[in-house]
Each structure stands twice: as structure tokens, then as C-alpha cells.
Chains A and B, each alone.
Chain A
Amino acid sequence: MLSRVADSLYWMSRYFERATHCSRVLEANYSLMLNPGKLSTEQRWQNIMGHLGLEGDESRIEPQAAIMKLMSDPQISSSIVSCITSARENASQVREQISSEMWERLNQLYHEVVQTAANMYSDSDVLRLFMALREGGYKFIGVTDSSMNHGEGWHFIQFGKYIERTSSLPLLIEAVFSAQQGADDLDWVGLLTSCSAFEAYCKVYTADLKPERVAEFLLLNPEFPYTARYSTEKMQHALEGIRRTTPGRRFSEIERIVGRLHASLAYAQIDDIMSRDFERFLESIIEQCQSLHSAAHEAYIDYPIESAFEA
């Protein structure tokens, strides 16, 4: 597969995941904001705004306006509109490589988002956009899995999706945990809902919400698709798939990084993690994702020409 094509598939998938992540987090917090204000929530809210890319003074604007901005402002590179546009841009570069159903879904969602975003006046527009992203997201993931060869290109798509998921989760957790005021049940519900994980959590732990359990579930649960451990396993699987189709490329560095990351989640205990430097642990997940991205980029996409002749 051409390196450029692999790169576009990867970024299409990452941007798409980023857009739906942003929408999930905003939707969960939007509903929290409807409750009577309290200090802890407000502080968390600002942390979350920071996590989603609104910084400095911008993060202190009124919540309603902040939501609008993060949804519809094309000037903000992490806004939903920007991410969906970038996902579509990448898809259009490789339209021949993805299935026509995938293109149609993405294109449809793009038009819906752009049109809604250009005319956002009321809360019902906001809610409509959340709905579009939620439904559009599931549809796109569905057709991607069912209408495309699960070959090299598909593995790059999976890799992009799960690396994005793994690296955005720690920031979100940190945003909620780091607020100085103690969090209450509603804040935990907000965090779990941001990862579509509330029901799944309850099935494991019942609705008894404890910080270390929430952290354990989101980081270490091996069965739920939005957890760090699950996503890392999927990344490992995708990279293994890519390795099989690209004999002759150097894989050891990639294997080492993803293997270590996976081990640090699969064999960890939450008490252990939380009794040490929790913040550092979360940061190290992000750093490992960054090294993994660089290693894969260097192995498959933008390798030095000399390295290709050594093999």
C-alpha cells in the first residue's frame, strides 16, 4: 500500500474519533451544566474545556458559548466542525481505497455538521448536532467494519481510531480527578458518560460510584471498547496486522512500545497506580502513544530513503 494512502486512512480515522470524542464529552457535560451550579463542577468544566482545546480566557467564557465554540468554530482546530472536515478531507484523498458506503456516511455527516454548525442559535440545534454525531459515528464505524476488506488499510484505520482513543482518555480522567474540590456522584456519571461507559460500569460495579473504581474501569477494563486497556489491545492487534502485510519493514521498536504500554495496563493494579503518582501514570500513557505514533510513522510513512536500501 502506498505510504500516502496509509497515512490518509490513519488520519481520517483519528480525526473522526476526535470529533466523536469531543461530542461525547460535550454532550455529557452539557447535561451536567443543566443542574444548579456548584463549585466543583465549574472547576471541572474548565479543566475539560482545556482538555478539549479551549485555553486561557476562552475557557472561562460562559458554558453555553463554550459549547457552541467547540462544536462549530472552524478557527479552533479541535472543534467538531474542524475535525469532521479534516476527516473528510483525508477520506477524499483515498476515496478509491475506502468503500463507497464509508464515503457516503462520512460525507453525509459532514454536510449535516457543517450546515447545523453554520446555523446554531438554540439549545435544540446543539442537541441535534450531538445526536447527529452519535448516530453518524456508530454508522460510520459499522460500515467500516462491514463493508471493507479487513486488510492493511483497515488495520491503519483501526490503529488511528484506537491510538486517538487511548491518548485522549488520560487527559479527560485527569481533568476530572485533578480538581481540588471533591467530586460527587454526578461528576463521576459525567466522566463515565463521556466515554459512553456508564451502563457498562454499572454492570461490573453496580451504580456504586467510587473514584478508584471509575479509574480502574476506564483504564484497566479489558472488555469495554472505550477503555485504555481495550484500545491498546486493539492497537496491538492492528499493528500486528500491518506487520504481516509489510514484510521487510523494521517492526521491533513499534512492538516494544505497544507491548510495554499494553503490559503496563494489563498487569497493573489500580491501588498501586493511585497510591503512587497518578498524574504521572496518565501522562506516561500519552507519551507512549506519541512515541508509538512516531515509530509507526517512521517505519511506514516517512522513512528515510537510506533505510529502505539497507534491507
Chain B
Amino acid sequence: MPERAIPAPFSEYELGTPYDEMFRANGRARQHYKALYSKLLSLPSDELLRSKQEADLSFFNQGITFTVYGREEGTERIFPHDLLPRIIPASEWDTIEKGLTQRITALNLFLKDIYNERKILSDGIIPGEIIYTCKHFRRQMRGVKVPRDVYVSVCGTDLIRLPSGEFVVLEDNLRVPSGVSYMLTSRKVMKQTFPILFRKCGVRPIEQYSQALLSTLRSLAPEGRSSLTIVLLTPGVYNSAYFEHTYLARQMGIELVEGRDLVVHDNIVYMRTTSGLQRVDVIYRRVDDDFLDPLTFRADSELGAPGLFNAYRAGNVVLANALGTGVADDKAIYAYVPKMIQYYLGETPILNNVETFLMSNDKERDHVCGNLEKYVVKAVGESGGYGMLIGPHSTKQQQEEFRLRIMEQPRNYIAQPTLALSTAPCFTEDGQIEPRHIDLRPYVLFGEKVTIVPGGLTRVALRKGSLVVNSSQGGGSKDTWVLQS
């Protein structure tokens, strides 16, 4: 690799195969990063450290913390946050926005089809078996009328950028995606940290997210109800995303309820208040399908409300997202999304998938099993970075173990080539700025129309060289700036 002279605090900054968000291969800063770049060069070395400490303190004081469990006293620590923003120019965002809109439209059409006419199966585009063996497929949803045919109204799609600079979809999170509160609170902190840079760069606002979410929920309400009661259903204080639930409920000015607050009577859902029972029209639920109604799903669940599903089926209450959306973000069914876009919309996908091999396909399985050291193998039902094999970083023994697992349950696994996630500058603990791998999770809202606030959660693998961005495994976040022009 040729010597590149990037001045301090970038002297440790190495450029390699992955696409770097800030620098071109020749070590020059990209146009949309120039303002940040020159700002960083001009700052006294301890100034960044001070800003970092102030930002951390601000997160702590706002209570944006994770509770670490397992110990007698719950200890709190802040969500790891990197000081330097990730910047996306207007033209690139335009593509992302169009691509996500296309994708969520197709996914909703797919869900409607799967739970009603099943044309895509009878037309032989997707094998029926892969749908019926998916553990998130809900038979109970067959023929259920869903308001506006919107199954997925809140979605957080994970995008990554390939070495070529192209954004591709790694995962659609269509059940109960989280993280949006970190997007919103980190913006607030960044505005205090870099006020001048904001003005100079022309960063598009994201603060309207809560209003947009509320209007989305409102647009799904049952017809003929004069004054609406919308609530957020949380599994409770012990859920790791509880902070987000309280945050969003407060921002939208709606009641935060738990399953035990809800009562279903004659197929109508009420919440128990000190003034009596109050009818509930729309539930933004942050509880998984399995736990929503012990009469229909898991009988041992205490997080939902008995009878909720029947009230939902009767059309007396709306759940957002609908039930059974997980069938469309199953990692094996994901492989068919480009075909869905073609099938339902007659368009070519604007955002491509990551190349994916289905282990249920004999040819693909044989190929992958012979070359496990080159692939990332994922269990289709897992998330959060669990249950995966990262080929290049694995031992022979681990590969053998996965080979056996794949042979045993081929439907449960997929494989993808090892991806070089793009890198972005991060402020390290020893005061340097170094590249770290990142992804991007924009939040898509679908009600009367599709709304995507310009930005998202950029997740960072804070450990050097690591590709795992999940917060449960050493990941952090960055503010994401989408530029006006």
C-alpha cells in the first residue's frame, strides 16, 4: 500500500479494500466531508476529547442508558456513541429513499398476497414450502382484513455499502425494529457539540420523526371513531428497549401501556384507568407476535392481553405492525425480495440484496459447505448477531460444527459472502481518528404514504477490524447527516 500523508489526527488512518465514507482511495477527503475534515484538522487535540466527554455526560444525564442486568444492583451505562457524524450527500440519499419506498411497497404487497390469494406461490415465483416452514408465518392471519393493506407500517432496513460504493440491503427488520430513539437523541447531542458545522453543511432535519410516526398510526385507525386513543404497548421495564418505549410515548404524547393494563371485552380493547375503562383504537406494539395474546399464541405469555387477536380480527383495534410480518424478513425469504419487486411492481430493484445462498438448495449448499472459510453463515431465525459463523475468522472446528448443523436443518441457514462493510472515521479512546466499519438503518414509515426521515441510525463496530455492529456485541452509533444539496 502506498504511503499516504494524511495529517494528524488522521496519522493512523489506514485505507484498504472497503469503501471509506470520508476519503477517496488517494487520501483526499470527499466533497461532502470537506467541511468536517477541515474542522477536525483545525481543532486543538484536546478539544475533541472534551467534546466527547461533554457528549457522554449529556447522554448520561438524559438517561439514555442501557441497564446491565445479571447483577444485584442494575448498573447503567450509556449507549456507546461516536462523536463524528456519518455524512450522506443528497444524491445518494435520493437513491436510498426511492429504493426503500419501492422495497416496502413490494413487501406489503407480498404480505397481503401471502395471507390472502397466495398468487406468488401459485405462479411459482417462491416455493410454498419456504413460506409454510417459516416460524414467523401466522396461519391465523389468513383472510384477516388489514387497514389500508398496510402490514408493515414501521420498518428499519439495514443497509451496507460495498467496496464499489453501492448501497445494498442486508436485512429488512419488519417486526418490531428498535433504535430510533438513539437516532433522535444523538442528533440532539450533536447539535450542542457541532452547532456551527450544522449550519455550514446544511443538514436535513429528523426531529419530525415522532409526529410522522403519530400521523402514520393515526392514518391506520378504524373508521368512524371520532376521538382516537393510540397507545404504545411495551413488554415492561425489563425490556432492553424500554428507554425507547418511554421516549417515543412521551414524544408522541400517548399512553405507555403494558399487557396487564389492557382488557378485552366483546372484542373491544380497553385500558384500565382510574376513571374507568377507556377504549383503545390503535396499538403501536413493541411486543413480539408470540407474546401478544395468550389465547391465540404462546399461552404462557403475560406480556399481552387475552382476546386481543380476536378484537384485531374483528377490526375493532389496529396493531402496528400487523401480525405475521416476520415471514417477510426471514433470512431465506429475504433472498426472494428482488423477485417480489419484479413480480408485484414490474420494476427492477433500486437497492440490491447481498448475494445470498439458500442452504435448502442442494447445489448452493454443496458449494458453500465446500468453501465455508469464505462465507458468513446465518441462522434464519436469529438476529442481533447471534447464531452466525464468520468464515474467515473461524476455526476448522467451528466450520465443521456449522457444516453438521446445516446438513441437519438446511432450511434454517443461509450463507452470504464475507462483506467488506464501508468504513467511516471514528474518534478512538486514545485520541486518534481511525476507520471503523459501519452500516446504516433508516426508518421507514408507511401509512397514508411512505415517510422516511432523512437519516437513520449508523451503527459502528467500535472494535478495530470488527464487522459486528450490534449493540449487544460491542457496537455503537453515530449521528447520520443527510445533506440538503
Contacts and interface: CB of A to CB of B under 8 A. Distances in A.
B272 A2 contact: yes
Interface residues of B, number: 22
Contacts of A100: 63
A152 B73 contact: no
Contacts of A303: 272, 276
A4 B261 contact: yes
Contact of A242 (B237, B255, B263, B274): B274
Nearest to B257: A2
A248 B263 contact: no
A241 B273 CA distance: 16
A263 B271 CA distance: 36
A299 B256 CA distance: 22
B73 A2 contact: no
A286 interface: no
B275 interface: yes
B258 interface: yes
Contacts of B191: none
Nearest to B250: A96
B277 interface: yes
A45 interface: no
A111 interface: yes
B274 A114 contact: no
Interface string A237-254: 000001001111100000
Contacts of B260: 4
Contacts of B271: 2
A92 interface: yes
A161 to B, nearest CB: 18
Given A305-B277, A308-B277, A3 B237 contact: no
B277 A93 contact: no
- A3, A111, A301: most-surrounded residue (chain B CB, <10 A): A3
Contacts, number: 56
B274 A152 contact: yes
A305 B263 contact: yes
A300 B260 CA distance: 15
B275 A93 contact: no
Contacts of A300: 274
A144 to B, nearest CB: 19
Interface in B241-290: 246, 249-250, 255-258, 260-261, 263, 265, 270-277
Nearest to A92: B237
A152 B275 CA distance: 11
Contacts of A93: 237
Interface in A1-45: 1-4, 6
B250 A3 contact: no
B63 A6 contact: no
Contacts of A308: 270, 276-277
B73 A111 contact: yes
Q: Which 7 A-B pairs have the closest CB atoms?
A: A246-B275, A300-B274, A308-B277, A3-B272, A96-B246, A308-B276, A246-B274
Interface of B: 63, 73, 237, 246, 249-250, 255-258, 260-261, 263, 265, 270-277
Interface of A: 1-4, 6, 92-93, 95-96, 100, 111, 114, 152, 242, 245-249, 300-301, 303, 305, 308-309, 311
Given A245-B274, A308-B270, 18 more contacts: A1-B275, A2-B261, A2-B272, A3-B261, A3-B273, A92-B237, A111-B73, A114-B73, A246-B274, A247-B275, A249-B274, A249-B275, A249-B276, A300-B274, A303-B272, A305-B263, A305-B277, A309-B265
11 contacts: A1-B275, A2-B257, A2-B272, A3-B261, A4-B261, A95-B246, A111-B73, A242-B274, A245-B274, A249-B276, A305-B277
